[in-house]
Structure 1
Amino acid sequence: MTAYALEHDTDNLPSAAATALSPVVFSQIYKPEHNIAIWQRNLTEQLQAEVAESITANPDLSINAVINQNTIVADINKALEKLPQAEELKADLAQLVDMFCYLFELKRTGLRLRVLERAMCPRFHVDRVPCRLVSTYCGSGSQWLQNAGLDRTKLGAGHQGLSDEESGLMTANTKIHSLNVGDVALLKGETWQDNEGKGLVHRSPALAAGEKRLLVTLDFIA
């Protein structure tokens, strides 16, 4: 089996990725050459503590909510009523929703916040969405591939039962990039205008025994 390198060094990311230490990087997702925009950040100690406490108290946490742009704070407080002490987490989610709605001129967005014990989407795939926000508060981060050198016919049923590493999707030189805890990424999907066949190829990370991951995603709502 070919060994594929995991790449965490954001200084060596491909040109398709826009990265910065500020959320201003999100506007780069509008450029055709970028299919991922990453705000690199570190979580505060308080936020990390709230996340750990929330996972311990709610190991099966799974929240799905519609957040309206005009009532973000109220909607998030209601959605996270199981987490009454997680004030910084709520504030952080409110900030992410506000930026997401502003960037894409959305009146509402779909929020999912889940504690995961295994890979939710273990195979590389593309999303049939315009764009999705992804961030990991705890645990391993999402993995993604640059477009160059990929055989997209091996996505989905095209893998014919073989693993991503064996199906021919990637070459021996392909680097598997990983987001870090705290990073906030916009993943451009297949239904973004003029992006058919160029959506970001990504997957959930494999989790070690006993590892828990707290993942948030934001999506467009028609």
Structure 2
Amino acid sequence: MPPSALPASLAIDHAASDADISVLPRIFEDEITIAIMTRTLPADIVMSAQAQCTRAWQFSWLGSPDETMHKDLRLRLPSPDAADALIEDVQTLAEAVAYLFDTETVGIRLRHLDQTMCPRFHCDNLPVRLLTTYLGPGSEWLPDTAVDRAGLGAPIPGRPEALTDASAIQRLQLGDVALIKGSGWEGCETRGLVHRSPPMAAGDKRLLLTIDPA
């Protein structure tokens, strides 16, 4: 598969982006803090995701991404009869995380959101996380050149803004699969990826999947 047409992130030296899944292992490179597999969601996954967004709900799982997880997710979804394509994609991504990070246990959260979850730019205090959005706007992230890390954390008097250049904000597109390093990644304690939930207008909906190797 040829490389995708890339946004401004192409020029960001700590970001890797491509339409092929082979880009995801680049997260193991020391300088890379975000690896993005760009993709266009197939219509069946889009329709399956839309069918689940009729009410507020969330699904959490800590364990193996196996048939038990598959069955539990189906039971928790609002429209299980329309869930096949979404469940298969979640399981495929969870299995990929387990394989890539050589673990049998993953932490999965699939959430239907109707408001911004984490509006401030921040860095996760964990080694690595997979993100993808099935409905609504994708997560936003910053190149290192647009971050004042002294501004990270809860707002307090005298603390500067973490964002230094609003024009540099990057956004994952619908369906993109990203692996992001947090401050818990060895050697990345002071340079984990800074990101946030996207702003959402009244009436917006978002279906977000996160997967953490455990």
- TM-score for both structures, normalised by structure 1: 0.87
Contact 1:77–1:90 (CA under 8 A) maintained in structure 2: no
Matches within 5 A, 1:80-119: 80-83=74-77, 84-85=80-81, 86-119=83-116
What is the rounded CA distance, in whole Å, between the counterparts of 1:24 and 1:188 in structure 2?
Answer: 17
Letter in 1 for 2:129: R
Deviation string, structure 1 residues 143-174 (Cα, Å, up to 9, x no partner):
000112421011113x4369xxx934233475
Letter in 2 for 1:203: R
Letter in 2 for 1:73: E
Q: CA deviation at 1:82?
A: 3.1
Letter in 1 for 2:100: L
What is the rounded CA distance, in whole Å, between the counterparts of 2:126 and 2:69 in structure 1?
Answer: 23
What is the rounded CA distance, in whole Å, between the counterparts of 1:33 and 1:137 in structure 2?
Answer: 28
Letter in 2 for 1:202: H
Q: What corresponds to 1:216 in structure 2?
A: 209
Deviation string, structure 1 residues 45-98 (Cα, Å, up to 9, x no partner):
111111111112xx11111112315xx233122133133221111110111011
Q: What corresponds to 1:167 in structure 2?
A: 160
Q: What corresponds to 2:175 in structure 1?
A: 182
Percentage of pairs with the same residue = 37
Contact 1:73–1:94 (CA under 8 A) maintained in structure 2: no
**Bigger mean CA offset, 29-38 vs 73-82:** 73-82
**Bigger mean CA offset, 73-82 vs 35-44:** 73-82
Letter in 2 for 1:64: S
Q: CA deviation at 1:107?
A: 1.1
Q: CA deviation at 1:219?
A: 1.1
- Alignment RMSD (CA, Å): 1.8
More relative contact order, 1 or 2 (CA 8 Å, 6+ apart): 1
Q: Which consecutive residues of structure 2, in runs of 5 or more, have no partner in the other structure?
A: none
Is the alpha carbon distance of 1:154 and 1:186 closer, same or farther for their aligned partners in structure 2, counting shifts above 3 Å? same
Q: Which runs of 4+ in 1 moved over 3 A?
A: none
Letter in 1 for 2:60: N
Deviation string, structure 1 residues 11-38 (Cα, Å, up to 9, x no partner):
3211211111121111100001110000
What is the rounded CA distance, in whole Å, between the counterparts of 1:182 and 1:106 in structure 2?
Answer: 24
What is the rounded CA distance, in whole Å, between the counterparts of 2:147 and 2:62 in structure 1?
Answer: 35
Match for 1:148 among 145, 148, 164? 145
Q: What corresponds to 2:134 in structure 1?
A: 137
Q: What corresponds to 1:36 in structure 2?
A: 34
Count of residues in correspondence between the two structures: 205
Contact 1:67–1:76 (CA under 8 A) maintained in structure 2: no
User: Residue 110 of structure 2 aligns to a residue in which SS?
Assistant: strand
